[in-house]
Structure 1
Amino acid sequence: MTIVHLIMVGLGGFFGAIARFLISKQLNAKAAIPLGTLTVNLAGAFLLGMISGAKADPTLALLFGTGFMGAFTTFSTLKLEMLEFLLKKQKWQFYLYTFLTYIIGIFLAYLGYLLGSQFQ
């Protein structure tokens, strides 16, 4: 690990966090389920799949994979939002959100991996 690696992760994280904030603020307030969180997590799954499939240069993988995607996607917010659905007894929203996040997310990560592997 070098200072360049740390800078790449930090730089990617800076822009990933800003992108997530802007998308979440724009989309979460307008729907029955948190579309902002869903959007960043599904997009992140696809893009991280592409980065992984493309076997990106290690420095670029730190910038985009670890840095940007690490800050862009969110596991903790997802869990909090799922818990809120359960506590409010909003079961259909809980099941829909869970299905979309996990099933579609895994599919998109795989699709991204397949597409990314075409760029090797």
Structure 2
Amino acid sequence: MHLRWRYIGLVFAGGTAGTAAREALSLVIPSINGIPVAILLINVVGALFLGVLLEALARRGADEGRRRILRLLLGTGFAGGFTTYSALASDTVFLLIDGDTWVGLGYAITTIAVGALATLAGISLAAAHHRRRHPDAAGEGAS
């Protein structure tokens, strides 16, 4: 179903915008003591965004029509292009090779842990927003 040119185009457009945004931020935000802070922030913000987006879309109904378009454009495309776990991996390896073992491990573990917490926070924010807007649906267990 997702191998339709229309959907591929949405992912491509979103991915292009997400990658451009990531590159712009990584050029503007300098490393601090050799730690690529931009990549850490980008991955955490992307995780938060994806948590909010997917929870909000799931609470609004089935993955079809406008919800599918938004998921593919903004979730798979933009967030997929914006976040970069390959840069996290290579930055970690460079820190390890340079002899900064504890810094490298701390950087990797912090990025993953804080990213997971950001995703949970995003899901919680979207769920709370949904409950405020739809108090009659508070008993629903959608997530």
Q: Distance in 1 between matches of 2:72 and 2:129?
A: 18
Aligned length, in residue pairs: 119
Structure with bigger gyration radius: 2
Q: Runs in 1 of length 4+ with deviation above 6 angstroms?
A: none
Structure with higher RCO (Cα < 8 A, 6+ apart): 1
Unaligned runs of 5+ in 1: none
2:124 to 95, 98, 114: 114
Tell me if 1:61 matches 2:62.
Answer: no
Identity among equivalent positions (%) equals 31
Compute the TM-score of the two structures, normalised by the length of structure 1: 0.90
Counterpart of 1:31 in structure 2 is 32
SS of corresponding position for 1:54 = helix
Counterpart for residue 41 of structure 1: 43
Assess if the C-alpha contact under 8 Å between 1:54 and 1:118 holds in 2.
no
Q: Kindly tell me: are residues 40 and 95 of structure 1, through their superposed partners in 2, closer, same or farther at Cα, counting changes over 3 Å?
A: same
Kept in 1, the 8 Å contact 2:88–2:108? The answer is no
Partner of residue 51, structure 1 = 53
In structure 2, what is the Cα distance between the partners aligned to 1:65 and 1:117?
A: 17
Q: What TM-score results when the alignment is normalised by the length of structure 2?
A: 0.77
Q: Calculate the aligned-residue CA RMSD, in Å.
A: 1.5
More helix per residue = 1
